[in-house]
Structure 1
Amino acid sequence: MRRAVFAIPGDLDTVTGGYLYEKRLLEGLRAVGTDTAHLRLGGSFPDPSPADHAHAARVLDAIDPQTPIILDGFVFGSMEPATLASLRAPFVGMVHHPLAREEGLSEERRAHLLRTERGNVALAAAILVPSPHTARILVEEYDADPDRVIVARPGTDRVAALREPSHPPLILSIGIQHPRKGHDVLLRALARMTDLPWTAVVVGAEWDAAHAADLRALRDDLGLEGRVRLAGLVAAHERDALYRSASVFALATRYEGYGLVFDEALSWGLPVVSCRTGAVPDTVPPDAGILVPPDDPVAFAEALRTVLGDSQRRAALAAAASVAGARLPGWLDTARTAQAVLDRLAWAGRRGCRGAHVDGSTLGA
């Protein structure tokens, strides 16, 4: 029987794109025939406490040498390379986007994460990434062997319901309330469009309480409290209802290693307005959305104005989004990509090739 271990810190039900990806991958691996154990590690990663780091080192070292391990990106990027180098089982790193590229880090913290992640990139038998963009970063900035970096594009669920756009048009934004998501840019853009009829809803958990308070204050200072709802975390059925009634999906992100919400928007046939940054240009087809430079409320407002004010352009973008959404892979496709990597490691382990590497060129990556 195929076996694997997926080591993930904290609560697997945390509502972020990274946790959703890993939960669906874990479920998908089991569905396609790999008996994958969920190993829950301490919640302090990617800044592990000494106790959480020691516990992770101990339980990972106890795993059967013939059972490959997938290490969540928080763990893979922050554990000491010397610790991972001593593991008996082969491991695969999961990198959604490099930790050292996160917003708001001190230079000391950034240098530390760059050291640990680069060291572990060199040790990993393979590295799973969600996008070609992240793959390029690892090769160009982290000296990763390109043959060991495997793109496992996130899956998406097929949408059965038809959209019923509301009146006035609804602008939908989905992303945790974190500075990287650029909700402040969106608010400033919306403040330049008060002459048009629209309402807006921002869905996403309050990742940082202080930033969430700043967003509420900014919305009110801009006079948008009657038109913009900062909804926070919502139930799945409410999220689907918002997608169904929206006219445009807008996320003024400063950076995305992938961005699952873009695939969701495409699946719903929504035109996308976002930023030309990170993996967004690889994810949003040029005929399905309008991308502008990040941190530019004026350009973002102009793009939204184009979509809302030109019904023919909006219809063309929506049609292209529907076509792109229908072509997206499912989560079982994602799982099969990861399963092929694990199978090669398990095969190498049975032959006694400790530390063997996967060659992505043989996996169709």
Structure 2
Amino acid sequence: MSLKAFLAFPGDLSLPTGGYAYDRQVLAHLPDQGVEIQPLPLPAGFPFPGAADVTEALARLTAAARRGVLLVDGLALGALPQAGLRAIAGPLVALVHHPLALEEGLSTEHQANFAASERAALACCARVIASSPQTGRILVRDYGVRAETLTIAEPGTERAARVPADGSPPRLLAVGTLIPRKGYDVLVRALAQIADLDWTLTVIGSRDIDLLTASRLEAQIAEAGLGGRITLRGAATAEGLAAAYQASDLFVHPALFEGYGMALAEAMRRGLPILCTTGGAVKDTVPDSAGIKMPPGDADALAQALHRLLTEPATRRAYADGAFAAGTLLPDWDQTAHRIASTLRAVQAQDQHA
């Protein structure tokens, strides 16, 4: 029996974030798993929707539920009211990249509201798909998700050739949208402490999603006198990102929290040594053999680790070997899609026998 499903997401699917990249790959690969999947765009106001956004989103979900299983991105799901979700005549499957309340920069009130709203929304779902074991553990521990209804579907990583990672002076690369959670301000503070060393940093990530954070970061770089050494390149095409990995020697990821860390997986797949935090799922995504990890938000510890890696080429090479070995073990997108398809089929079967 054919399986029809809809992947619901807020706004523009082409946005250059990890969550939207995951959704694009799911849409591309589920057909090969026998799932007739269609995109279902919801209003762009999420996760801070207005009343009209909520009404329209629920209407679109209700209409689609008559024709297939609903797979709903948590960026929208967690901000929808429980009463409206309960009224949808069809099974819901949540796709959670990371809980909304764990986004950096939220007020205490917004965190509490998001936690309550997402907990209530997840209670309406027949199954929950999380993008990492760490996110899954958080959902079970803090959001009332039952372990038997949880599927872990880590992002896939495309095959890629190993990069040389042997430039001199070392070329640092960071990838991720310019938002507070990515911790770029911490990285700049750390780099300012080792300005006597020879290095450059390229940051690839959209500057348009959070204009205030981007502006503050630019000012911080200028104030630190690092404008000639740090390049904020903005978003890149797939080809541009591949070229950036090829031209780098050390991957730096100072994020305060990650639901998985897709850029880290891409860097390991190419054999780049890693310097990252232990924020969220990162401590699981990156094995100890692939690089140095430290607590998030600690600029001094980050500076010390950077000093070591920049001044010890042999250490960088050892971590590069470990990263490449770990990268070969990462799942591809067909494996990710297979896990999701199996979950959708289980939900369809359960609904038909209800």
| Equivalent of 1:335 in 330, 334, 337 | 337
In 2, Cα distance between equivalents of 1:162 and 1:185:
27
The correspondence of residues 11-90 of structure 1 with structure 2, limited to 5 A, is 11-65=12-66, 67-90=68-91
In 2, Cα distance between equivalents of 1:141 and 1:175:
27
Q: Is 1:138 the counterpart of 2:152 in the alignment?
A: no
Range moving further from structure 2, 57-66 or 75-84: 57-66
Q: Cα distance, 1:241 vs. partner?
A: 1.5
TM-score (norm 1): 0.93
Opposite residue 198 of structure 2, the aligned amino acid is P
Please name the residue that 1:184 is paired with: 185
In 2, Cα distance between equivalents of 1:53 and 1:276:
35
Please name the residue that 1:118 is paired with: 119
Q: Cα distance, 1:165 vs. partner?
A: 3.6
Superposed CA deviations along residues 212-241 of structure 1, whole A, max 9, x for unmatched, are: 111111111111111111111123222212
Please name the residue that 1:97 is paired with: 98
Please name the residue that 1:152 is paired with: 153
Superposed CA deviations along residues 37-83 of structure 1, whole A, max 9, x for unmatched, are: 11111101111121221111112112345721101111210100111
Superposed CA deviations along residues 324-362 of structure 1, whole A, max 9, x for unmatched, are: 1111110111000000000111112222x1xxxxxxxxx
When residues 228 and 343 of structure 1 are mapped into structure 2, their CA distance, relative to the original with a 3 A threshold, is: same
The correspondence of residues 1-365 of structure 1 with structure 2, limited to 5 A, is 1-65=2-66, 67-160=68-161, 162-163=163-164, 165-206=166-207, 207-351=209-353, 353=354
Alignment check: 8 A CA contact 2:3 2:345 kept? yes
Q: Cα distance, 1:277 vs. partner?
A: 1.5
The number of residues matched between the two structures is 352
Which runs of no fewer than 5 residues in structure 1 stay unpaired? Answer: 354-365
Secondary structure (helix, strand or coil) at the match of 2:78 reads helix
Q: Cα distance, 1:160 vs. partner?
A: 3.1
In 2, Cα distance between equivalents of 1:240 and 1:75:
30
Alignment check: 8 A CA contact 1:66 1:89 kept? no
Range moving further from structure 2, 34-43 or 95-104: 95-104
In 2, Cα distance between equivalents of 1:316 and 1:163:
13
Superposed CA deviations along residues 77-103 of structure 1, whole A, max 9, x for unmatched, are: 010011111111101011111111212
In 2, Cα distance between equivalents of 1:99 and 1:4:
24
In 1, Cα distance between equivalents of 2:323 and 2:158:
15
Opposite residue 293 of structure 2, the aligned amino acid is L
Aligned-residue sequence identity (percent) comes to 39
Alignment check: 8 A CA contact 1:118 1:142 kept? yes
TM-score (norm 2): 0.96
Which runs of no fewer than 5 residues in structure 2 stay unpaired? Answer: none
Range moving further from structure 2, 89-98 or 237-246: 237-246
Opposite residue 107 of structure 1, the aligned amino acid is T
Alignment check: 8 A CA contact 1:165 1:245 kept? no
Question: Alpha carbon RMSD of aligned pairs, Å?
Answer: 1.3
In 2, Cα distance between equivalents of 1:341 and 1:10:
25
Range moving further from structure 2, 229-238 or 203-212: 229-238
Alignment check: 8 A CA contact 1:165 1:244 kept? no
Secondary structure (helix, strand or coil) at the match of 1:246 reads coil
When residues 306 and 70 of structure 1 are mapped into structure 2, their CA distance, relative to the original with a 3 A threshold, is: same
Opposite residue 21 of structure 2, the aligned amino acid is L
